[in-house]
Amino acid sequence: MDTRDAFRHNVLTSGHRACSGCGEAMAARMVTDLIGPEAIYVNATGCLQVFSTHNQQSAWQAPWIHSVFANAAAVASGVEAALRARGEDTPVIVQAGDGGTFDIGLQCLSGMIERGHDVLFVCYDNEAYMNTGVQRSSSTPHAVRTTTSPPGRVSEGKHHLKKDLISIVAAHRMPYAATATVAYFPDLRAKVDKAMRIKGPRFLHVLSPCPLGWDHDAALSVTVARLAVETGLFPLIELEYGAVTGVTRLARQQPVEEYLKLQGRFKHLFADKGGAEEIRHLQALADANIRRYGLLDANTEWDTDRASQTQRHGRGGYAASSREVSP
Amino acid sequence: MNRLAIEPGSTVAYHTGDWRNQRPAYRDKWPPCGQTCPAEEDVQAWLALASDRQWEAAWRTLTERNPLPAVMGRVCYHPCERACNRAHLDTAVNIHGVERHLGDLALQQGWRHRPLTDQQQTQQVAVVGAGPAGLSCAFQLARRGFPVTIFDAQSTPGGTLSSGIPEYRLPKSVMQGEINAILALGIQLKLNTRIGADISADTLREEFVAVFLAVGALQPRTYPDDGYGDHSVMSGVDFLRRINDGERLSLPGQIAVIGGGNTAIDAARCARRLGAEVTVVCSQDPHGSHGGHPGAEIPASLDEVNQAEAEGVRLRYRMGVQRLVRSGAHLSGVEIARVDQIHDRHGRFNPVLFEGTEEFLPASLVVFAIGQEVDWRGLEPLVQTETSGIFVGGDAAGKPRFAATAVGSGYQAAMSIIALLTGVPPHYEHHDKAEVTFRDIKPQYYPRQARREGALMAASPGEFSERVAGLGNEAAHEEAGRCLNCGICFQCDNCWHFCPDAAVIKQGQGYRIDDDYCKGCGICAEECPSGHIDMERVAG
Ligand SMILES: Cc1cc2nc3c(=O)[nH]c(=O)nc-3n(C[C@H](O)[C@H](O)[C@H](O)COP(=O)(O)OP(=O)(O)OC[C@H]3O[C@@H](n4cnc5c(N)ncnc54)[C@H](O)[C@@H]3O)c2cc1C
Ligand SMILES: Cc1ncc(C[n+]2csc(CCOP(=O)(O)OP(=O)(O)O)c2C)c(N)n1
Ligand code: SF4
Ligand code: SF4
Ligand code: SF4
């Protein structure tokens, strides 16, 4: 048991083999410490599972099960049903990558929601199959370079658009679905807290930059996530029973180039005329999101400035565990 | 632990720290506010305490360097605010407003300065001049156990704070309150004692091992006209001294004040309060007309000029005096003319006037506020010979001549005197720290917040009551909270939240990096709002 930190349980602790600057490790550390160690975590196959469990060593300081790639939501449904049968109410959490959510895991996720299981499904979206070497997924945005969507004479990277998963999930008319990123901790915390107060199926979609697959400086994982939001490419929203009930307003909109230019996966777009057209296309997609969710004019106090405000003399803010956490 | 370790258990057995080629280091910087403060206050430190409502601790931190916060918060031209990084975000922190609030609170609550040692030294130090330089030096020495005697020629302490700065900017009770708190450390004050006259320089030299000369620059520069001393020509310092002594001068209807410095504006505003029509004639152009270029714009501070104009003082910019116009012994006015060049070839202030642009400015009194010099009379034996143990500071040491500069030089002198008497060289903290510019700040983590100002109260004729109100607890607390804490950790937790490797460990106070696991990604440094974290290359 690692007890180095009196203010944080470190459900996902040190020694894991994620790349330096990994956004998925960062996201999972924040989410699981907000939930705490008294939960059962079910993990689909993918980077998070692989880098946290190595050579019979585990980085998890909470009950944790590895399912296979496709069926994490089904395994979690079973765990939840079993706990219910025993009269226990330990929270059940699924963690999966975008491949394990948007693609191969989608039908299990849909079934879990449809059957109304009391499970929080967290998707750490790094927009490709990273663990197997950066193959495109249905979450990979338009025009991105991956190993299976290489730019060249006939293509400007991935041809298809990023799947609108949050709408698909919300269309199940489930209690709570929300998007978040690593960049706005107060926003992420509010959403995890809210999800944990609600019963039934819940879904949290956390954009998690990947320095390797996105090809950006490891130090910029948070910055890149922030720009994904501020450009409008990744809207921060909440949906309850299918309706949009919350929007994190953009204090100011950034042009998509600010986001694209930090990442090697978009580098080819800056090389020629075809690329310039794709940049305009991505800008149009961002603008469409902004219109669709009213990201610039939503009537709310909660904007990206507020959502990035740090506390002074911070006192943690993570879940206390039964292992007394005292300052 | 071997990197290929396969014992079942926790991954903490596996040290990812050897992946890195750079490592983060927490480092306190020296923010521009403190760097620019002539008294070298640790501005950031006391603002942080004030933002936490630790008022007394804030006051104690501030007074480490400046025992006159209520005074300085009122009269200092606050260069710190021109340097403040927050200006690049929205507006500079109202540093002087919080400073004044702390000083006022201390007076209200009767907080007393504490000595730094209970060891009493025996070597006697003399301070000549009870202005801010002398008081500051005496304060620093007394806190460190040295017996100090201050001599001053005047009948009240405070130097120019008392004799020059008018009551509506600095109430005498405020100044006296802070001086009393300084003297309460056991400092001897001998008033009405001019060194070089009442006590000779040689006697002083014999009785004290060290002497700090903080005699100010009190000798007014005069205009070559024989009318000084009669009722129609006066120097700004004499004019202000008489008003500050409580004399209710009866003034003629029209007055001309010559000069563009703060003394000129103070004299003009006082004259205005006594009911006169006042015109200030200054050789320079208005503020902002030359992009802040020193020498070409009026040297008096912008706030002062604005308040003077609001009170009805008229300003004639870029005009100089050709001659005084008299009819018999009676002064009827001044002939002024347009200034061509302000400085001569050698860069000396020496305005040249355009022929043919003369105007007649009616006035029955002309006040010249055209600069002051140091009066060394009687002190020559101390300054002319190479003797050790004699130190000069404040206005007497040259320009810039500001109250906070005087306070800073008093501190420096005290440190030099202690070094001389103890043989241990002085140690200046902060000076080895890196600076922190706005480029090191992450603005996205700071909300935009309007600056709070002390309210401006109406000026009524004949009234010398204070014009600018204090901030009060709430506004001072909020204003202190606007500080970005440049280069200093304010425990926002960002580095700790964002580290993907649980290599930032939060402790009761602050954080530490666990070198066993830090992979050197640099996210903590990138996302630290205040620029407190540096990334260093590691060999290998
Ligand atoms: C009208 C006016 C307004 C000003 N306004 C401001 C302002 O708003 N903000 C600001 O920062 N600065 C201001 N200044 C400048 C500021 O007052 C001075 O820089 C500061 O007071 C200098 O402090 P000091 O201790 O060196 O000298 P002083 O304050 O001038 O004190 C010198 C003292 O030495 C005494 N003394 C001199 N000779 C002898 C002797 N031989 N024996 C014994 N005692 C002696 C004098 O009596 C005097 O009390 C102003 C100056 C003037 C003239
Ligand atoms: C059925 C099946 N197909 C393929 C794989 C190989 N595989 C393991 S992880 C992975 C990609 C995971 O991608 P994603 O879910 O996006 O998670 P990431 O690694 O990006 O976090 C793949 C294809 C597998 N384990 N099982
Ligand atoms: S923001 Fe605070 S620390 Fe930074 S320069 Fe201004 S007063 Fe100083
Ligand atoms: S964020 Fe963590 S791993 Fe990255 S440099 Fe900082 S301490 Fe090291
Ligand atoms: S990120 Fe925040 S907590 Fe960490 S060093 Fe910087 S100011 Fe302190």
User: Residue B447: closest CA among chain A residues belongs to which residue?
Assistant: A305
For A245-276, letters b (16+ CB in 10 Å) and e give ebbbbbbeebebbebbebbebbbbbeeeeebe
Res. B1 pLDDT band, cuts 50 70 90: very low
| Predicted local confidence at residue A315, as pLDDT | 60
How far apart, in whole angstroms, are the C-alpha atoms of residue B435 and residue B176?
Answer: 36
Q: Which residues pair with B373 in a beta bridge?
A: B219
Is a pLDDT exceeding 80 seen at residue B227?
no
For residue B130, how far is its CA from the centre of ligand 2 (angstroms)? Answer: 79
Q: Is B201 in the pocket of ligand 1 (CB under 6 A)?
A: no
Decide which of 1.10.630.10, 3.50.50.60, 3.40.980.20, 2.60.40.1180 is the CATH code for B32-217+380-483. 3.50.50.60
Facing residue for B9 by CB, picked from A4, A22, A57: A57
Instruction: Calculate the alpha carbon distances from A55 to A49, B5, B13, B106 in Å.
Output: 12, 8, 11, 64
Phi, psi of B272 (to 5 degrees): -60, -40
Nearest chain B CA: its distance from A262 CA (Å): 14
- Spatial contact of A8 and B504, defined as CB atoms under 8 Å apart: no
Q: Is B168 in the pocket of ligand 1 (CB under 6 A)?
A: no
Q: Which of B492, B496, B527 to mutate to test the interface with A (most CBs of A within 10 A)?
A: B527
How far apart, in whole angstroms, are the C-alpha atoms of residue B317 and residue B284?
Answer: 6
B410 Cα nearest atom in ligand 1: 25
CB contact under 8 A, B492 and A16: no
CB contact under 8 A, B492 and A29: no
Q: Is B401 in the pocket of ligand 1 (CB under 6 A)?
A: yes
CB contact under 8 A, A16 and B11: yes
| Residue owning tokens 């205040």 | B530
| Residue owning tokens 């050197």 | B520
pLDDT above 90 as % of chain B: 78
CB contact under 8 A, A14 and B521: no
Residue among B170, B172, B174, B122 at smallest CA distance from B148: B122
How far apart, in whole angstroms, are the C-alpha atoms of residue B70 and residue B65?
Answer: 14
Would you give the DSSP letter of residue A45?
S
In B, which residues are within 8 Å of A4 by CB distance? 502, 505, 514
Facing residue for B526 by CB, picked from A18, A211, A223: A223
Each domain of chain B, given as residue ranges in start order, spans 16-28+489-537, 32-217+380-483, 222-373
Is a pLDDT exceeding 80 seen at residue B229?
no
Residue with CA nearest ligand 4 atom 3: B518
| Residue owning tokens 């690593």 | A182
For B480-501, letters b (16+ CB in 10 Å) and e give bbbbbbbbbbbbbbbbbbbbbb
Would you give the DSSP letter of residue B85?
G
- Encoded amino acid at B291, one letter: G
Q: Is B237 in the pocket of ligand 1 (CB under 6 A)?
A: yes
Tokens of A224: 């890149």
User: Residue A19: closest CA among chain B residues belongs to which residue?
Assistant: B519
Determine the distance from the C-alpha atom of residue B435 to the mean position of all C-alpha atoms in its chain, rounded to a whole number: 20
What's the pLDDT tens digit per position in B445-483? 998 899 999 988 877 666 788 888 899 999 999 999 999
| Predicted local confidence at residue A324, as pLDDT | 43
- Spatial contact of A247 and A298, defined as CB atoms under 8 Å apart: yes
Which residue from B505, B515, B519, B526 has its CB within 8 A of the most atoms of ligand 4, so it is best to mutate?
B519
Facing residue for A15 by CB, picked from B14, B494, B522: B14
ipTM: 0.96
Residue with CA nearest ligand 4 atom 6: B524
Nearest chain B CA: its distance from A26 CA (Å): 4
Fold agreement between B16-28+489-537 and B222-373? no
- B400 upstream amide cis, omega within 30 of 0: yes
Give, for all 327 residues of chain A, the pLDDT tens digit.
Answer: 899 999 999 999 999 999 999 999 999 999 999 999 999 999 999 999 999 998 889 999 999 999 999 999 999 999 999 999 999 999 999 999 999 999 999 999 999 999 999 999 999 999 999 999 999 999 999 999 999 999 998 889 999 999 999 999 999 999 999 999 999 999 999 999 999 999 999 999 999 999 999 999 999 999 999 999 999 999 999 999 999 999 999 999 999 999 999 999 999 999 999 999 999 999 999 999 999 999 999 999 999 999 988 777 666 678 764 444 443
Facing residue for B520 by CB, picked from A7, A20, A309: A20
Backbone dihedral region of B522: left (phi > 0), alpha (psi from -120 to 50 degrees) or beta? left
Tell me which ligand sits closest to the C-alpha of residue B45: 3
Sequence-ordered strand ranges (E) for A126-186: 176-181
| Residue owning tokens 């603005």 | B443
Cα pseudo-dihedral A242, A247, A253, A259, rounded to 10: -60
Facing residue for A8 by CB, picked from B8, B52, B506: B506
Q: Which residues pair with A180 in a beta bridge?
A: A206
| Predicted local confidence at residue B408, as pLDDT | 97
CB contact under 8 A, B500 and A314: no
| Predicted local confidence at residue A313, as pLDDT | 67
Tokens of A248: 């994190």
Q: Is B533 in the pocket of ligand 4 (CB under 6 A)?
A: no
Residue with CA nearest ligand 1 atom 27: B216
User: Residue B524: closest CA among chain A residues belongs to which residue?
Assistant: A219
Decide which of 1.10.10.10, 2.102.10.10, 3.30.70.20, 3.40.50.300 is the CATH code for B16-28+489-537. 3.30.70.20
Backbone dihedral region of B216: left (phi > 0), alpha (psi from -120 to 50 degrees) or beta? left
Mean pLDDT (chain B, rounded): 92
| Predicted local confidence at residue B7, as pLDDT | 72
Q: Which of A310, A318, A325 to mutate to test the interface with B (most CBs of B within 10 A)?
A: A310
How far apart, in whole angstroms, are the C-alpha atoms of residue B194 and residue B225?
Answer: 29
Length of chain B: 540
Nearest chain B CA: its distance from A75 CA (Å): 24
B53-57 contacts: CB < 8 A, separation 24 or more? B53/B473, B53/B477, B55/B102, B55/B105, B55/B473, B56/B105, B56/B106, B56/B109, B56/B111
CB contact under 8 A, A57 and B525: no
B303, containing H or E segment: helix B302-310
- Beta-carbon contacts of B359 under 8 Å, excluding residues fewer than 6 positions away, are B319, B335, B336, B337
CB contact under 8 A, B11 and A23: no
CB contact under 8 A, A55 and B6: yes
Is a pLDDT exceeding 70 seen at residue B5?
no
- Spatial contact of B336 and B322, defined as CB atoms under 8 Å apart: yes
Q: Report the pLDDT averaged over residues B192-220.
A: 95
Which three-class secondary structure string do you get for A113-124? HHCCCCEEEEEE
How many CA atoms lie less than 13 Å away from B15 in the CB half-sphere? 8
- SS3 state of residue A53: strand
Output B232 or B74, whichever has higher pLDDT. Answer: B74
How far apart, in whole angstroms, are the C-alpha atoms of residue B125 and residue B420?
Answer: 12
Domains and CATH numbers, chain A: 3-312 (3.40.50.970)
In A, which residues are within 8 Å of B10 by CB distance? 1-2, 13, 15, 57-59, 61
For residue A19, how far is its CA from the centre of ligand 4 (angstroms)? Answer: 11
| Predicted local confidence at residue B4, as pLDDT | 55
Instruction: Calculate the alpha carbon distances from B101 to A315, B50, B83 in Å.
Output: 29, 10, 21
What's the pLDDT tens digit per position in B263-320? 999 999 999 999 999 999 999 999 988 887 778 899 998 989 999 999 999 999 999 9
How far apart, in whole angstroms, are the C-alpha atoms of residue B170 and residue B167?
Answer: 5
Q: Burial of B363 by CB count in 10 Å (0-12 exposed, 13-18 middle, 19+ buried)? A: buried
How far apart, in whole angstroms, are the C-alpha atoms of residue A71 and residue A79?
Answer: 12
What's the pLDDT tens digit per position in B28-48? 999 999 999 999 999 999 999
CA angle B292-B297-B300, nearest 5°? Answer: 100
Res. B101 pLDDT band, cuts 50 70 90: very high
In B, which residues are within 8 Å of A18 by CB distance? 500-501
Q: Is B222-373 in CATH node 3.40.50.1820?
A: no
